[in-house]
Protein backbone atom coordinates (compact mmCIF):
# COMPACT_ATOMS: atom_id res chain seq x y z
CA UNK A 1 0.00 0.00 0.00
CA UNK A 2 1.28 3.45 -0.90
CA UNK A 3 -0.28 6.93 -1.07
CA UNK A 4 -1.03 8.55 -4.39
CA UNK A 5 -0.19 12.17 -5.10
CA UNK A 6 -3.77 13.14 -4.22
CA UNK A 7 -3.56 11.47 -0.79
CA UNK A 8 -5.53 8.38 -1.82
CA UNK A 9 -4.28 4.95 -0.74
CA UNK A 10 -3.23 2.39 -3.33
CA UNK A 11 -3.57 -1.33 -2.65
CA UNK A 12 -1.96 -4.08 -4.72
CA UNK A 13 -4.06 -6.49 -6.74
CA UNK A 14 -4.80 -9.38 -4.38
CA UNK A 15 -4.43 -11.81 -7.30
CA UNK A 16 -0.71 -11.06 -7.24
CA UNK A 17 -0.30 -11.81 -3.53
CA UNK A 18 1.98 -14.68 -2.58
CA UNK A 19 1.04 -14.70 1.10
CA UNK A 20 -2.20 -14.38 3.08
CA UNK A 21 -4.65 -11.58 2.29
CA UNK A 22 -5.23 -11.03 6.04
CA UNK A 23 -2.78 -11.44 8.91
CA UNK A 24 -3.88 -10.77 12.50
CA UNK A 25 -1.18 -10.91 15.15
CA UNK A 26 -1.75 -10.70 18.92
CA UNK A 27 -4.82 -8.48 18.45
CA UNK A 28 -6.28 -7.01 21.63
CA UNK A 29 -9.34 -4.81 22.10
CA UNK A 30 -10.17 -3.72 25.63
CA UNK A 31 -12.84 -1.30 26.80
CA UNK A 32 -12.44 1.02 29.76
CA UNK A 33 -15.47 0.81 32.06
CA UNK A 34 -16.40 1.94 35.56
CA UNK A 35 -15.66 -1.58 36.81
CA UNK A 36 -12.29 -1.83 35.08
CA UNK A 37 -10.83 -2.97 31.78
CA UNK A 38 -13.11 -5.29 29.77
CA UNK A 39 -10.87 -7.70 27.84
CA UNK A 40 -13.20 -8.38 24.93
CA UNK A 41 -10.47 -9.58 22.55
CA UNK A 42 -7.32 -10.69 24.34
CA UNK A 43 -4.43 -11.74 22.12
CA UNK A 44 -5.90 -13.26 18.94
CA UNK A 45 -3.76 -14.33 15.98
CA UNK A 46 -4.72 -15.95 12.67
CA UNK A 47 -4.21 -15.69 8.90
CA UNK A 48 -6.60 -15.94 5.96
CA UNK A 49 -5.76 -16.66 2.34
CA UNK A 50 -7.47 -15.18 -0.73
CA UNK A 51 -10.70 -16.96 -1.63
CA UNK A 52 -10.81 -18.92 1.64
CA UNK A 53 -13.41 -18.85 4.41
CA UNK A 54 -12.68 -18.74 8.13
CA UNK A 55 -15.48 -19.53 10.58
CA UNK A 56 -15.30 -17.80 13.97
CA UNK A 57 -17.48 -19.66 16.47
CA UNK A 58 -18.39 -19.18 20.11
CA UNK A 59 -21.16 -18.31 22.55
CA UNK A 60 -22.60 -14.83 22.86
CA UNK A 61 -20.05 -12.69 24.69
CA UNK A 62 -17.03 -14.68 23.51
CA UNK A 63 -15.66 -11.70 21.54
CA UNK A 64 -16.58 -12.73 17.97
CA UNK A 65 -18.25 -9.47 16.93
CA UNK A 66 -15.62 -7.31 18.63
CA UNK A 67 -12.95 -9.30 16.79
CA UNK A 68 -14.53 -8.70 13.38
CA UNK A 69 -15.05 -5.01 14.04
CA UNK A 70 -11.49 -4.70 15.35
CA UNK A 71 -10.14 -6.27 12.16
CA UNK A 72 -12.12 -3.75 10.11
CA UNK A 73 -11.07 -0.83 12.33
CA UNK A 74 -14.60 0.21 13.28
CA UNK A 75 -13.94 0.53 17.03
CA UNK A 76 -12.70 4.03 17.80
CA UNK A 77 -12.85 6.28 20.85
CA UNK A 78 -10.95 7.27 23.97
CA UNK A 79 -12.26 4.33 26.00
CA UNK A 80 -11.09 1.71 23.50
CA UNK A 81 -7.62 0.28 24.18
CA UNK A 82 -6.21 -1.49 21.12
CA UNK A 83 -3.07 -3.49 20.52
CA UNK A 84 -1.53 -5.91 18.05
CA UNK A 85 -1.41 -5.64 14.27
CA UNK A 86 -3.80 -6.25 11.38
CA UNK A 87 -2.24 -6.61 7.93
CA UNK A 88 -4.36 -6.58 4.79
CA UNK A 89 -2.77 -7.47 1.44
CA UNK A 90 0.64 -7.38 3.08
CA UNK A 91 0.29 -3.89 4.58
CA UNK A 92 -0.63 -2.81 8.08
CA UNK A 93 -4.06 -1.20 8.32
CA UNK A 94 -4.35 -1.18 12.12
CA UNK A 95 -2.20 1.97 12.16
CA UNK A 96 -4.37 3.92 9.69
CA UNK A 97 -6.30 7.02 10.74
CA UNK A 98 -10.13 7.05 10.51
CA UNK A 99 -9.90 9.14 7.31
CA UNK A 100 -7.55 6.60 5.74
CA UNK A 101 -9.70 3.68 6.90
CA UNK A 102 -12.68 5.16 5.05
CA UNK A 103 -10.72 4.53 1.85
CA UNK A 104 -10.40 0.87 2.84
CA UNK A 105 -13.99 0.24 3.88
CA UNK A 106 -16.40 -1.02 1.20
CA UNK A 107 -13.76 -1.08 -1.57
CA UNK A 108 -11.27 -3.46 0.09
CA UNK A 109 -13.01 -4.77 3.23
CA UNK A 110 -16.78 -4.84 3.84
CA UNK A 111 -19.07 -6.18 6.54
CA UNK A 112 -22.53 -7.73 6.65
CA UNK A 113 -23.81 -6.57 10.03
CA UNK A 114 -25.64 -8.80 12.47
CA UNK A 115 -29.10 -7.21 12.55
CA UNK A 116 -30.30 -5.68 9.25
CA UNK A 117 -33.26 -3.98 10.93
CA UNK A 118 -30.92 -1.81 12.99
CA UNK A 119 -28.08 -1.66 10.44
CA UNK A 120 -30.36 -0.24 7.74
CA UNK A 121 -31.62 3.32 8.16
CA UNK A 122 -35.39 2.98 8.76
CA UNK A 123 -36.26 6.39 7.25
CA UNK A 124 -34.19 6.12 4.06
CA UNK A 125 -35.30 4.20 0.99
CA UNK A 126 -33.41 1.06 0.00
CA UNK A 127 -32.25 2.60 -3.27
CA UNK A 128 -30.41 5.45 -1.60
CA UNK A 129 -28.73 3.11 0.91
CA UNK A 130 -27.48 0.79 -1.84
CA UNK A 131 -26.30 3.56 -4.19
CA UNK A 132 -24.59 5.70 -1.55
CA UNK A 133 -21.39 3.65 -1.53
CA UNK A 134 -21.38 3.40 -5.32
CA UNK A 135 -21.52 7.17 -5.71
CA UNK A 136 -19.09 8.07 -2.90
CA UNK A 137 -16.54 5.24 -3.21
CA UNK A 138 -16.67 4.50 -6.93
CA UNK A 139 -17.71 7.95 -8.19
CA UNK A 140 -20.68 6.71 -10.27
CA UNK A 141 -23.32 9.19 -11.38
CA UNK A 142 -26.95 8.80 -10.32
CA UNK A 143 -28.04 6.82 -13.38
CA UNK A 144 -25.08 4.41 -13.33
CA UNK A 145 -25.41 3.91 -9.58
CA UNK A 146 -29.13 3.11 -9.91
CA UNK A 147 -28.51 0.61 -12.70
CA UNK A 148 -25.76 -1.04 -10.67
CA UNK A 149 -28.03 -1.16 -7.59
CA UNK A 150 -30.76 -2.93 -9.59
CA UNK A 151 -28.21 -5.48 -10.83
CA UNK A 152 -26.93 -6.00 -7.28
CA UNK A 153 -30.40 -6.61 -5.85
CA UNK A 154 -31.12 -9.02 -8.67
CA UNK A 155 -27.83 -10.87 -8.02
CA UNK A 156 -28.77 -11.45 -4.37
CA UNK A 157 -32.15 -12.88 -5.32
CA UNK A 158 -34.54 -10.00 -4.66
CA UNK A 159 -37.56 -10.10 -7.01
CA UNK A 160 -38.62 -6.92 -8.86
CA UNK A 161 -35.36 -5.18 -7.86
CA UNK A 162 -36.20 -1.87 -9.56
CA UNK A 163 -39.40 -1.57 -7.54
CA UNK A 164 -37.67 -2.54 -4.30
CA UNK A 165 -35.38 0.47 -4.54
CA UNK A 166 -38.32 2.66 -3.48
CA UNK A 167 -39.16 0.52 -0.45
CA UNK A 168 -38.24 1.33 3.15
CA UNK A 169 -36.59 -1.41 5.28
CA UNK A 170 -39.77 -2.10 7.28
CA UNK A 171 -41.60 -3.01 4.06
CA UNK A 172 -39.29 -5.99 3.49
CA UNK A 173 -39.14 -9.36 5.23
CA UNK A 174 -36.20 -10.35 7.42
CA UNK A 175 -34.64 -12.44 4.69
CA UNK A 176 -35.06 -9.65 2.13
CA UNK A 177 -33.44 -7.12 4.50
CA UNK A 178 -30.49 -9.45 4.97
CA UNK A 179 -30.13 -9.75 1.19
CA UNK A 180 -30.12 -5.96 0.93
CA UNK A 181 -27.34 -5.84 3.54
CA UNK A 182 -25.33 -8.33 1.47
CA UNK A 183 -25.91 -6.24 -1.68
CA UNK A 184 -24.66 -3.10 0.11
CA UNK A 185 -21.58 -4.95 1.39
CA UNK A 186 -20.76 -6.30 -2.10
CA UNK A 187 -21.53 -3.10 -3.99
CA UNK A 188 -17.96 -1.82 -4.29
CA UNK A 189 -16.33 -5.19 -4.96
CA UNK A 190 -14.49 -5.86 -1.66
CA UNK A 191 -11.76 -8.49 -1.54
CA UNK A 192 -12.52 -9.43 2.07
CA UNK A 193 -16.03 -9.84 3.50
CA UNK A 194 -16.81 -10.08 7.20
CA UNK A 195 -20.25 -11.64 7.78
CA UNK A 196 -21.32 -11.12 11.41
CA UNK A 197 -24.10 -13.59 12.31
CA UNK A 198 -25.74 -13.18 8.86
CA UNK A 199 -28.49 -15.71 9.64
CA UNK A 200 -29.53 -14.57 13.14
CA UNK A 201 -33.31 -14.38 13.54
CA UNK A 202 -34.07 -16.10 10.23
CA UNK A 203 -35.91 -19.39 9.82
CA UNK A 204 -33.96 -22.45 8.75
CA UNK A 205 -34.85 -22.37 5.05
CA UNK A 206 -33.98 -18.67 4.74
CA UNK A 207 -30.73 -19.29 6.64
CA UNK A 208 -29.72 -21.86 4.03
CA UNK A 209 -30.59 -19.46 1.21
CA UNK A 210 -28.51 -16.66 2.73
CA UNK A 211 -25.51 -18.93 3.29
CA UNK A 212 -25.79 -20.33 -0.24
CA UNK A 213 -25.94 -16.77 -1.56
CA UNK A 214 -22.80 -15.78 0.33
CA UNK A 215 -21.01 -18.84 -1.00
CA UNK A 216 -22.03 -18.09 -4.60
CA UNK A 217 -20.97 -14.45 -4.37
CA UNK A 218 -17.67 -15.46 -2.80
CA UNK A 219 -16.90 -17.85 -5.65
CA UNK A 220 -17.87 -15.34 -8.33
CA UNK A 221 -15.71 -12.59 -6.80
CA UNK A 222 -12.83 -14.72 -5.39
CA UNK A 223 -13.33 -13.05 -2.01
CA UNK A 224 -11.93 -14.11 1.30
CA UNK A 225 -14.60 -14.31 4.00
CA UNK A 226 -14.83 -14.45 7.78
CA UNK A 227 -18.12 -16.03 8.84
CA UNK A 228 -19.00 -15.21 12.47
CA UNK A 229 -21.62 -17.40 14.15
CA UNK A 230 -22.51 -19.12 17.42
CA UNK A 231 -23.59 -22.30 15.61
CA UNK A 232 -21.01 -24.89 14.55
CA UNK A 233 -23.67 -26.43 12.33
CA UNK A 234 -23.72 -23.28 10.19
CA UNK A 235 -20.00 -23.46 9.40
CA UNK A 236 -19.71 -27.23 9.06
CA UNK A 237 -19.89 -27.32 5.26
CA UNK A 238 -19.22 -23.68 4.43
CA UNK A 239 -15.76 -22.90 5.79
CA UNK A 240 -12.20 -24.02 5.12
CA UNK A 241 -11.03 -23.41 8.69
CA UNK A 242 -12.69 -22.78 12.06
CA UNK A 243 -11.46 -20.71 15.00
CA UNK A 244 -13.30 -21.34 18.28
CA UNK A 245 -13.36 -18.34 20.63
CA UNK A 246 -13.98 -18.30 24.37
CA UNK A 247 -13.69 -15.29 26.69
CA UNK A 248 -11.80 -13.20 24.12
CA UNK A 249 -9.28 -15.87 23.12
CA UNK A 250 -8.99 -18.50 20.40
CA UNK A 251 -9.02 -21.84 22.22
CA UNK A 252 -8.97 -24.13 19.17
CA UNK A 253 -8.25 -23.58 15.48
CA UNK A 254 -8.13 -26.19 12.73
CA UNK A 255 -9.24 -27.04 9.19
CA UNK A 256 -12.99 -27.66 9.30
CA UNK A 257 -12.92 -31.41 8.66
CA UNK A 258 -10.07 -31.88 11.16
CA UNK A 259 -11.89 -29.93 13.88
CA UNK A 260 -15.02 -32.07 13.62
CA UNK A 261 -13.09 -35.34 13.31
CA UNK A 262 -10.50 -34.76 16.05
CA UNK A 263 -11.83 -32.21 18.56
CA UNK A 264 -9.30 -31.48 21.30
CA UNK A 265 -10.67 -28.54 23.32
CA UNK A 266 -13.46 -29.44 25.81
CA UNK A 267 -15.28 -26.19 24.98
CA UNK A 268 -15.42 -27.15 21.29
CA UNK A 269 -16.74 -30.57 22.30
CA UNK A 270 -19.41 -28.91 24.45
CA UNK A 271 -20.50 -26.72 21.52
CA UNK A 272 -20.76 -29.78 19.28
CA UNK A 273 -22.79 -31.70 21.87
CA UNK A 274 -25.24 -28.80 22.22
CA UNK A 275 -26.34 -29.08 18.55
CA UNK A 276 -29.72 -30.91 18.30
CA UNK A 277 -29.65 -33.98 16.05
CA UNK A 278 -32.41 -35.65 14.04
CA UNK A 279 -31.36 -38.99 15.51
CA UNK A 280 -32.04 -37.83 19.08
CA UNK A 281 -35.16 -39.28 20.76
CA UNK A 282 -38.27 -37.13 20.87
CA UNK A 283 -38.47 -34.66 23.79
CA UNK A 284 -34.81 -35.23 24.66
CA UNK A 285 -33.38 -32.53 26.89
CA UNK A 286 -30.86 -30.29 25.08
CA UNK A 287 -27.24 -30.65 26.19
CA UNK A 288 -26.62 -27.10 27.40
CA UNK A 289 -23.20 -26.02 28.63
CA UNK A 290 -23.52 -25.50 32.41
CA UNK A 291 -22.64 -22.16 33.97
CA UNK A 292 -21.97 -18.98 32.06
CA UNK A 293 -18.98 -17.26 30.41
CA UNK A 294 -16.56 -15.54 32.80
CA UNK A 295 -16.49 -11.89 33.74
CA UNK A 296 -14.08 -10.30 31.26
CA UNK A 297 -13.17 -7.58 33.77
CA UNK A 298 -11.93 -10.16 36.28
CA UNK A 299 -11.37 -13.41 34.37
CA UNK A 300 -10.42 -16.46 36.43
CA UNK A 301 -6.81 -17.49 36.81
CA UNK A 302 -5.66 -20.35 34.64
CA UNK A 303 -7.94 -21.64 31.90
CA UNK A 304 -10.97 -19.41 31.48
CA UNK A 305 -13.20 -22.39 30.72
CA UNK A 306 -12.14 -24.23 33.89
CA UNK A 307 -15.25 -23.37 36.00
CA UNK A 308 -17.50 -25.01 33.36
CA UNK A 309 -15.21 -27.80 32.14
CA UNK A 310 -15.96 -31.49 32.84
CA UNK A 311 -12.24 -32.31 32.58
CA UNK A 312 -11.03 -29.57 34.97
CA UNK A 313 -8.14 -30.31 37.35
CA UNK A 314 -6.19 -28.16 39.78
CA UNK A 315 -3.57 -27.42 37.12
CA UNK A 316 -6.31 -25.87 34.94
CA UNK A 317 -7.25 -23.43 37.72
CA UNK A 318 -3.66 -22.31 38.28
CA UNK A 319 -1.98 -22.11 34.86
CA UNK A 320 -3.39 -20.91 31.55
CA UNK A 321 -2.72 -23.52 28.83
CA UNK A 322 -0.84 -22.30 25.74
CA UNK A 323 -1.91 -23.12 22.20
CA UNK A 324 -0.42 -26.50 21.33
CA UNK A 325 -0.14 -28.28 17.99
CA UNK A 326 -2.22 -31.38 17.34
CA UNK A 327 -1.36 -31.77 13.67
CA UNK A 328 -1.02 -29.65 10.52
CA UNK A 329 -2.90 -26.40 11.12
CA UNK A 330 -4.57 -27.72 14.28
CA UNK A 331 -3.98 -25.85 17.52
CA UNK A 332 -5.75 -26.12 20.87
CA UNK A 333 -5.37 -24.73 24.40
CA UNK A 334 -5.99 -27.45 27.00
CA UNK A 335 -4.00 -29.40 29.62
CA UNK A 336 -6.34 -32.41 29.40
CA UNK A 337 -7.45 -32.58 25.76
CA UNK A 338 -10.46 -34.51 24.49
CA UNK A 339 -9.57 -37.96 23.15
CA UNK A 340 -6.34 -38.27 25.14
CA UNK A 341 -5.63 -40.71 27.97
CA UNK A 342 -5.08 -37.85 30.42
CA UNK A 343 -8.40 -36.33 29.38
CA UNK A 344 -10.26 -39.61 29.95
CA UNK A 345 -8.60 -39.99 33.36
CA UNK A 346 -9.53 -36.41 34.30
CA UNK A 347 -13.19 -36.98 33.38
CA UNK A 348 -13.33 -40.26 35.30
CA UNK A 349 -11.72 -38.62 38.33
CA UNK A 350 -14.26 -35.79 38.26
CA UNK A 351 -17.19 -38.17 37.93
CA UNK A 352 -15.95 -40.13 40.94
CA UNK A 353 -15.70 -36.91 42.96
CA UNK A 354 -19.10 -35.62 41.76
CA UNK A 355 -17.80 -32.51 40.02
CA UNK A 356 -21.02 -30.81 38.76
CA UNK A 357 -19.69 -30.00 35.27
CA UNK A 358 -18.67 -33.65 34.74
CA UNK A 359 -22.04 -34.94 35.97
CA UNK A 360 -23.89 -32.52 33.68
CA UNK A 361 -21.65 -33.49 30.75
CA UNK A 362 -22.37 -37.21 31.07
CA UNK A 363 -25.92 -36.96 32.42
CA UNK A 364 -24.89 -38.98 35.47
CA UNK A 365 -26.84 -38.41 38.67
CA UNK A 366 -24.75 -37.46 41.67
CA UNK A 367 -26.05 -40.37 43.77
CA UNK A 368 -25.06 -42.83 41.03
CA UNK A 369 -21.64 -41.34 40.26
CA UNK A 370 -19.67 -43.41 42.79
CA UNK A 371 -21.26 -46.67 41.71
CA UNK A 372 -20.86 -45.93 38.01
CA UNK A 373 -17.22 -44.85 38.02
CA UNK A 374 -14.32 -46.57 39.82
CA UNK A 375 -11.83 -44.39 41.71
CA UNK A 376 -9.10 -42.91 39.54
CA UNK A 377 -5.71 -41.45 40.49
CA UNK A 378 -5.31 -37.71 40.20
CA UNK A 379 -4.44 -36.84 36.57
CA UNK A 380 -1.61 -34.53 35.61
CA UNK A 381 -1.35 -32.50 32.43
CA UNK A 382 1.73 -34.26 31.08
CA UNK A 383 0.14 -37.63 30.29
CA UNK A 384 1.02 -39.18 33.67
CA UNK A 385 -0.99 -39.57 36.83
CA UNK A 386 -0.17 -38.97 40.47
CA UNK A 387 -1.14 -41.51 43.09
Please give the Cα distance from 110 to 189 (Å, whole number). Answer: 9
Please give the Cα distance from 246 to 143 (Å, whole number). Answer: 47
Q: Which residue has the higher pLDDT, 298 or 280?
A: 298
Residue 192 near residue 109, CB atoms below 8 Å: yes
* 372 has pLDDT over 50: no
pLDDT value for 371 = 46
Q: How many Cβ atoms sit within 10 Å of the Cβ of residue 44?
A: 24
Please give the Cα distance from 31 to 204 (Å, whole number). Answer: 35
At a CB cut-off of 8 Å and minimum separation 6, what does 109 contact?
A: 71, 72, 88, 190, 191, 192, 193, 194
pLDDT in tens, 83-139: 999 999 878 999 898 888 988 999 999 999 888 888 899 999 999 999 999 999 999
pLDDT in tens, 3-22: 544 567 778 777 777 789 99
Give the start-to-end residue ranges of the domains of the chain.
Answer: 22-97+191-205+214-261, 109-189, 302-325+335-386
Residue 329 near residue 258, CB atoms below 8 Å: yes
385 strand-pairing partners: 379
Fold of 22-97+191-205+214-261: Rossmann fold (3.40.50)
pLDDT value for 276 = 76
Average pLDDT over residues 236-257: 95
Residue 181 near residue 119, CB atoms below 8 Å: yes
Buried b (16+ CB within 10 A) or exposed e, 304-334: bbbbbbbbbbebbeeeebeeeebeeebbbbb
- Lowest average pLDDT, out of 50-54, 65-69, 269-273, 274-278, goes to 274-278
Please give the Cα distance from 387 to 377 (Å, whole number). Answer: 5
* 183 has pLDDT over 80: yes
pLDDT value for 375 = 52
Using DSSP, state whether 352 is helix, strand or coil. Answer: helix
At a CB cut-off of 8 Å and minimum separation 6, what does 37 contact?
A: 30, 31, 81, 297
Residue 10 near residue 1, CB atoms below 8 Å: yes
Q: Give the global pTM.
A: 0.89
pLDDT value for 262 = 95
Residue 61 near residue 79, CB atoms below 8 Å: no
Please give the Cα distance from 243 to 234 (Å, whole number). Answer: 13
Residue 26 near residue 83, CB atoms below 8 Å: yes
Q: Which residue has the higher pLDDT, 374 or 353?
A: 353
| Torsion sign (Cα): 299, 56, 110, 154 | negative
pLDDT value for 369 = 45
Amino acid sequence: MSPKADGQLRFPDVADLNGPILEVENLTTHFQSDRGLVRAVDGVSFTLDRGRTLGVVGESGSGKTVLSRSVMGLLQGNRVVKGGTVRYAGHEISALSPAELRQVWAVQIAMVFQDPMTALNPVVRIGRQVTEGLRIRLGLDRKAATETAVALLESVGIPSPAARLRNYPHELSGGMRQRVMIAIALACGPKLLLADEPTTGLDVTVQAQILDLLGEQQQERSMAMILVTHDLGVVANRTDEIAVMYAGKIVEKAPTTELFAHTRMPYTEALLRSIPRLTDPSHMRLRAIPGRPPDLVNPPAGCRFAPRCPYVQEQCRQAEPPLRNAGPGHQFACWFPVGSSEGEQALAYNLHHKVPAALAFTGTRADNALAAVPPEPTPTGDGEVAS
